[in-house]
Amino acid sequence: MKIEQIISDAAGRAVKALYGIDVAPGTTTPQKTKKEFEGNLTLVVFPFLKASHKAPEATAQEIGEYLLANEPAVAAFNVIKGFLNLVIAPSFWSEMLHHIDDDANFGIRKASADAPLIMIEYSSPNTNKPLHLGHVRNNLLGYSLSEILKANGNRVVKTNIVNDRGIHICKSMLAWQKWGNGITPEKAGKKGDHLIGDFYVLFDKHYKQELKELQEQGMTPEEAEAASPLMQEARAMLRKWEAGDPEVRSMWEMMNNWVYAGFDETYRRLGVDFDKIYYESQTYLEGKEKVLEGLEKGIMYRKEDGSVWADLTAEGLDHKLLLRSDGTSVYMTQDIGTAKLRFKDYPIDKMIYVVGNEQNYHFQVLSILLDKLGFKWGKDLVHFSYGMVELPEGKMKSREGTVVDADDLMDEMIATARETSAELGKLDGCTAEEAEEISRIVGLGALKYFILKVDPRKNMTFNPKESIDFNGNTGPFIQYTHARICSVMRKAAEAGIDYRQEERGNTDLSEKEISLIQHLADFPAVVAEAGRIYSPSLIANYVYDLAKEYNQFYHDYSILREENATVRAFRLMLSANVAKVIKTGMGLLGIEVPDRM
């Protein structure tokens, strides 16, 4: 049982014995004692003053004396106003560490066969351009959230919806048809998604030139947009695609396959994956069918021009377009279609959409519509809304080719990690292959950690230079701490020391050792809270605090040079479990930790 629960239960018995009342839930839950005071856990006694009819200090003193006499875990106490600071017996912390050491999966709950099934959608790329920095944040959050919810005992299905149809796709296709001269990724020596992205930028360049020329002939910007031959051709291509034109469909399939091969490579490098991928080209007609079904049931209504709408004024929203007058779908219709297919494929209990905060209203509407259409999880769908990610220089625009490409970013991070690690001597004695692998792990770890340590709801600025630093709240600092502990454990093994073979004995624990054990013991509660509020940043910052605390311990105390075998074994056990929890915590963020560095 956790020490917090032991103290909470004991405090409840104390209040009952002293004042004759049953405590209200939560009133006896202790908090960690503030660093400036002596103690490990603090109980706030203000809720019991009515029953005690005494001042806060006197009430705290009485409860403290009761606990000291009746609860073996309490070794001492002190009172500061209405706060009862409790010192937990060293023997208790020692037992706690042995309990953590015995549990290989400490902090992780396995899912049972009937555990809730949660589906998480993330990534959602368009097939007209490669993945960029915004997608990187989305993918990292989605993957990490999946791992955290799994660690909380849920069954999880990771899904992706690929936006593979629409006018933006036709722009790339048209540009390739006009100016590509039959180029392929193989001929160009480029990833397919990069090649198609180049044609999307090229379309925009020619389109802007065309608008400029039309405006110079006296047209207004609006007239020029309507008259643009290039845009008219792109719209005509979309109509042909929707009509199933074999030539357009064949080109679309070929170019999309180039892009998918490129996406797969990026996902693999980024360390994210999916259990099921859906495609808008397969879901938009399903959505149309579901909307027409809603029309028949009177959930939706048709306007005179033939368009179909939902009236959401009763819910405090407005009227929402679902099918245009020409019968074509909007994004909302596609999302309804995707939901229909997903619900058919899986018995979903909860659906989480990882999508940027600019889509908050969209998901508010989607939740209401899915509920009206009979999806049991519709009302409770979760929009995991996250903030935008920018660079120190400002915003990115894919049309203009100013986007930070995910592949280029990963290359840059790995190169910087290689350079920084070499400068600091962290690659000394490594083979070329080992140096390359460490550079990859450190570079990608720096990228992932820098993004995930920020509260997902906040906008953030990603600074590559700041992220690769072996000091401070960074991925490399935590990774180096793990490697440092692995080095200690290797040296112990080489010297024939195995802490598990040593006899258990009582050791006088230092404040730092107790603080570290208490920190380790908090891990399951942090994982549970991160799952409850959907926040990978809680895990990231917990692991950083643990690594920081361990480094202070490592600096102040001997481990292998300690002459007392019992103390040495205890410190090795403490070190091994810090490494274990760092590895598990970083794993929940999708971050690898090296054994050597």
Residues 28-40: pLDDT tens digits? 999 999 988 999 9
Q: What is the reported pLDDT for 506? A: 65
Q: Six-digit token pair at 451?
A: 């993004």
DSSP string, 1-32: --HHHHHHHHHHHHHHHHH--PPPTTTT--EE
Half-sphere exposure of 185 (CA within 13 A, CB side): 17
Residues 548-578: pLDDT tens digits? 999 999 999 999 999 999 999 999 999 999 9
Q: What is the reported pLDDT for 285? A: 85
- Whether 338 shows a pLDDT value over 90: the answer reads yes
Which residue type, as a one-letter code, is found at position 583?
Answer: K
The one-character DSSP state at 559 is S
- Whether 174 shows a pLDDT value over 70: the answer reads yes
Q: What is the reported pLDDT for 328? A: 79
Give the confidence band of 1 by pLDDT, cuts at 50, 70, 90.
Answer: low
Question: The whole model's pTM is what?
Answer: 0.90
From the number of C-beta atoms within 10 Å of its C-beta (0-12, 13-18, 19+), residue 60 rates as buried
Give the confidence band of 505 by pLDDT, cuts at 50, 70, 90.
Answer: low
Which residue type, as a one-letter code, is found at position 344?
Answer: K
The one-character DSSP state at 91 is H
- Whether 396 shows a pLDDT value over 80: the answer reads no
* CA-atom Rg of the chain in angstroms: 30
Q: What is the reported pLDDT for 560? A: 94
The answer to whether residues 197 and 404 touch, using CB atoms and an 8 Å cutoff, is: no
Residues 524-553: pLDDT tens digits? 999 999 999 999 999 999 999 999 999 999
Tell me the backbone φ, ψ of residue 351, rounded to 5 degrees: -120, 125
- Whether 290 shows a pLDDT value over 50: the answer reads yes
Q: What is the reported pLDDT for 196? A: 96
Residues 476-499: pLDDT tens digits? 999 999 999 999 999 999 999 998
Contacts with 209 (C-beta within 8 Å, 6 or more apart), sequence order: none
**What is the residue-averaged pLDDT of the chain?**
92
- Whether 461 shows a pLDDT value over 70: the answer reads yes
Q: Six-digit token pair at 459?
A: 């906008």
Q: Six-digit token pair at 330?
A: 């909007």
Beta bridge partners of 302: 308
- Chain mean position to CA 143: 6
Which residue type, as a one-letter code, is found at position 556?
Answer: D
From the number of C-beta atoms within 10 Å of its C-beta (0-12, 13-18, 19+), residue 557 rates as middle
Delineate the domains of the chain, giving CATH numbers in brackets.
3-88 (3.30.1360.70), 406-588 (1.10.730.10)
The answer to whether residues 370 and 353 touch, using CB atoms and an 8 Å cutoff, is: no
